[in-house]
Amino acid sequence: MEKKAVYPGSFDPFTNGHMDIVRKASAIFDRVYIVMAVNSEKRRAFDCRRMQEAMERALADSGITNCEVSIYDGLIAEYTKHHGIGYMVRGLRNNMDYNYEENIAEVNKLIDPSLEYVYFRADNVAVSSSMVKELRHYGQDVSSYVPPAIAALLAEENVNTEH
């Protein structure tokens, strides 16, 4: 039986930290569904479809073939039930991440009691989507914090917002 995992997040933008977690998960699971969860409470900085395309390019550039990127606007535990996914992958940078994730895990387990959580330690605890957005806001080069395909999208976004 195929071992399937979901790795949900806003990925706004997708960073090298996210890519590290994808690499780790794709080495263990047969199939990893990277789900860009749309949160109705948050305004996205980057278009979902364009980010999805850039993420797919980043995976292809890295030779990762057992992952699929999708966009979903419902409860992630409903997604796992619908797709027969048994594992939820999350990355942890610190104990605050762990406490936050454990609270969400409890809710998801109410919806899908069979769902198991797998935590991976982040290799670079300073890298986050918030950090990338903040640095970009102040005109800093963020290309060393995101995969090249994402850096290309961000550069294109800069050009489009300057006009």
Cα separation of 70 and 87, whole Å?
17
Contact 10/18 with Cβ under 8 angstroms? Answer: no
Per the annotation, the verdict on 93 as an active-site residue is yes
Contact 93/101 with Cβ under 8 angstroms? Answer: no
Per the annotation, the verdict on 83 as an active-site residue is no
Per the annotation, the verdict on 133 as an active-site residue is no
Catalytic, out of 3, 42, 50, 121: 42
Give the burial string for 61-97 (b: 16+ CB within 10 Å, else e). Answer: ebebeebebeebeeebbebbeeeebbbbbbbbbeeeb
Catalytic, out of 81, 93, 109, 133: 93
**Extended strands (E) in 24-147:** 31-37, 67-72, 87-92, 116-121
Per the annotation, the verdict on 129 as an active-site residue is yes
Contact 118/139 with Cβ under 8 angstroms? Answer: no
Catalytic, out of 24, 26, 90, 129: 129
Q: What is the side-by-side order of every strand in the sheet holding 4-9?
A: 67-72, 31-37, 4-9, 87-92, 116-121
Active site members: 18, 42, 93, 129
